[in-house]
Amino acid sequence: MPPIDLILNVAVGGILTGLVYGLMALGLSVIFGVIRVVNFAHGEMMTVAMFLAFSAFTAFGIDPLLSLIPIAALLFAFGYAMQAGLINDFVNKPEHTQFILLVAVAIILVNVLLMIFGPDARGVQTDYSFDSFEVGKLIIDATKAYAALAAVLVAVVLFAFFRFTLIGQAIRACADNYTGALVVGLDVKRLYALTFGIGAACVGAAGAVLVLITDVTPALGPSYTLQAFIIVIIGGLGSMPGALLGGVLIGLTEALAGLFFTPSAKSMFAVAALVLVLLLRPQGIMGKRQR
Amino acid sequence: MTGLFSELSKRGIVLLVLLLALMLAAPFLANDYLLTVLILILYFAFTGQAWNVMMGFAGQLSLGHALYVGLASYVAAALFVRFGVGPWIGMLVAVPVAVIAGAIIGFLAFRFRVGGVYFAILTIAFAEFTRVGFDHFSYVGGSGGLFLPVSQYTSNDLVNLRGNPTMFYYVILAMTLGAWLLCRWLLRSRLGYFWQAIREDEDAARALGIDTFRCKMIAVMISAGLTAPAGVFTAFYYNNLFPEQVFNMGRSIEIILGPIIGGVGTLFGPILGAFLLTGLSESMHELLSWLGLDVPGAKAVFYGICLLFVVVALPDGVWPWVARKLKVTERKVTERKP
């Protein structure tokens, strides 16, 4: 049994990282909740954002906490274009057809990154990389704290957008009742494109700040995709607070599993948590029952 | 015989016989490189056919078929390495292991009414869980891998599956043919029609009195069991097993790309898809090295772009389109309605 201080420190680190994962999963949740298309290129978009933040930092010295705004905007444009140009035609196609479409996109993204950046792990060293805050006996990494704070801020902006703006409400209307949205004259295709853009922007922001915490390689894409799925299903597909909660739970689970067992087995615990949730509460912790 | 091929036109039967003759003669016509490509194609045709039972016939999307391949590989290889049990006896153990794994996933999913996308994620999750588990399973080598003793290619030992590529080629060809015949029979059986009813509309199927839980369980178990021989085959063909590769999510995706591109729910789709995709992948390799563009990743980018074009142009798969062009099917019972 490791000392209690260590456990607490690891737990806090896991929760903070989990908030960033939560923002990534929020993007997936928004996309699935509204468009009902599973974005199998989600983790790959995450690595694209991470490499963009890395490039901005190494080329121009821009801190990822700042570059997250232009990167989110870029990913928004990418997501909007992808939904408008490609996925809108596939919205009513069977799941496996959508799957292949997005797997093709994922393959292209991973390998374009591989061609540009090579297979090596890249990371960012800021001047506060080794700073930490001491709160009582807790030692909190500054990078993790800033990254988590940024993730929460972006999430709050998103909550507000969906709650209070007309477009946000229109998007929610599409999600609630597709036919109804068409009947009242909403431009569903454009709203879908906006939604995919917003989901992609979440991933963009999450990727930009995650580069502060961990290194990136092109090959990481699929495992981020899987992680986003796990988080979203645990939290409840379509539930925005659920995605953040799921992220925190997975971050915590992985951090503690790495401490108590071995770091290489940590993803096994995330998967086990997913299986448990699917069996005991398939709609997720905060999801609404749909059947 | 006539009943089994009743939906094929004369033209279709002639083409089928020609294809079979060509495949049988391939080792005499092709060089070693081409033969290994053909083995790979047949491997994907076989696994694609097995996956198709679950998705194409019964409508249950599995994204974790690498699990069944991997489990069977490990069971057969471990029996061979540890106890000297040959692959054919090993298969008698490997197939039930895969069937049980499929039954567990199916039971948990269908009992708790996990369906659609959730079911697909559950299958990925089980494959990933097993991958990490095997990474720490030291009895079969853990993440360091499990290796089969490699023998000289002087004589072919069919009993122990030790030999040259030609022998492996005929083994996988026979397996693919067997799987194809089995799937033809299944699709036209009473069970096959139940599956197709469930695929098209599960609630309607249940309303008609079909025991959907039982039918879906059988589909998962047959699909898993049918996948297992491919695992035994690859274990003895490649002679090395690493959890990281064998259970990789990418492996599962490779297995299902073929049947989806070829045409889900069709009998020739998985075979055509395997030819197209493996052929595409290999010719990309040749083309790019000929052009001097052989940077890591370039091949896969072009592969992805081709995949994108195919799925946009022919979202129902290539086979239904080819079949129309060749006029080889008379009845359209096997085609999946868009």
CA distance B183 to chain A (A): 20
Please check whether residue A286 lies inside any domain of the structure.
no
The percent of chain B in helix, strand and coil, each rounded to the nearest 5, is: 75, 0, 25
Mutate to test the interface with B, among A275, A276, A283, A290 (most CBs of B within 10 A): A275
Determine how many CB atoms are found less than 10 A away from the CB of residue A132.
15
Q: Give residue-wise pLDDT tens across range A90-129.
A: 988 888 889 889 999 999 999 999 999 988 898 888 888 7
Indicate the pLDDT class of residue A291, thresholds 50, 70 and 90.
very low
Kindly report whether the global pTM for this prediction surpasses the value 0.80: yes
Determine how many CB atoms are found less than 10 A away from the CB of residue A185.
7
| Closest CB from B114, B260, B300 relative to A111 | B300
Judged by CB atoms within 8 Å, which residues 9-68 of A form the interface with B? 32, 38
Mean confidence (pLDDT) of chain B: 87
CA distance B305 to chain A (A): 7
Residues B200-205, mean pLDDT to the nearest whole number: 90
ipTM for this model: 0.84
pLDDT of B332 over the 50 cut: no
Indicate the pLDDT class of residue A73, thresholds 50, 70 and 90.
very high
Tokens of A158: 């998103």
Q: What is the CATH number of the domain that holds A112?
A: 1.10.3470
Three-class DSSP category at A122: strand
DSSP B56-82: IIT----S-THHHHHHHHHHHHHHHHH
From B293, which residue of chain A is nearest by alpha-carbon distance? A115
Question: Can you tell me the distance from the alpha carbon of A84 to that of A87, in angstroms, rounded to the nearest whole number?
Answer: 7
Please check whether residue A115 lies inside any domain of the structure.
yes
Question: Can you tell me the distance from the alpha carbon of A227 to that of B15, in angstroms, rounded to the nearest whole number?
Answer: 47
What percent of chain B clears pLDDT 70, i.e. is strictly above it? 94
**What pLDDT score was predicted for residue A132?**
82
Residue A243 Rama label (left phi>0; alpha psi -120 to 50; beta): alpha
Question: Can you tell me the distance from the alpha carbon of B318 to that of B307, in angstroms, rounded to the nearest whole number?
Answer: 11
Give the contacts of B332 (CB within 8 A, at least 6 positions apart).
Answer: none
Number of domains forming the structure of chain A? 1
Tokens of B84: 């000297």
| Closest CB from B61, B121, B129 relative to A268 | B129
Indicate the pLDDT class of residue A290, thresholds 50, 70 and 90.
low
Indicate the pLDDT class of residue B196, thresholds 50, 70 and 90.
very high
Please check whether residue A127 lies inside any domain of the structure.
no
Domain extent at residue A181 = 4-120+146-280
Question: By C-alpha distance, which of A272, A197, A229 is closest to A29?
Answer: A229
Please check whether residue A39 lies inside any domain of the structure.
yes
**What pLDDT score was predicted for residue B140?**
85
**What pLDDT score was predicted for residue B283?**
87
In sequence order, the β-bridge partners of residue A134 are: A139
Indicate the pLDDT class of residue A81, thresholds 50, 70 and 90.
very high
Please check whether residue A26 lies inside any domain of the structure.
yes
**What pLDDT score was predicted for residue A165?**
92
* CB-defined contacts A:B, below 8 A: 130
pLDDT of B335 over the 50 cut: no
pLDDT of B44 over the 90 cut: yes
Give the contacts of A41 (CB within 8 A, at least 6 positions apart).
Answer: A102, A103, A105, A106, A109, A221, A225
CA atoms within 13 A on the CB side of B281: 17
Q: Using a CB-CB distance cutoff of 8 angstroms, which residues of chain B are in contact with residue A108?
A: 300-301, 304-305, 308
Question: By C-alpha distance, which of A193, A194, A204 is closest to A83?
Answer: A193
Please check whether residue A164 lies inside any domain of the structure.
yes
**What pLDDT score was predicted for residue B153?**
61
| Closest CB from B63, B125, B315 relative to A275 | B125
Please check whether residue A111 lies inside any domain of the structure.
yes
Please check whether residue A129 lies inside any domain of the structure.
no
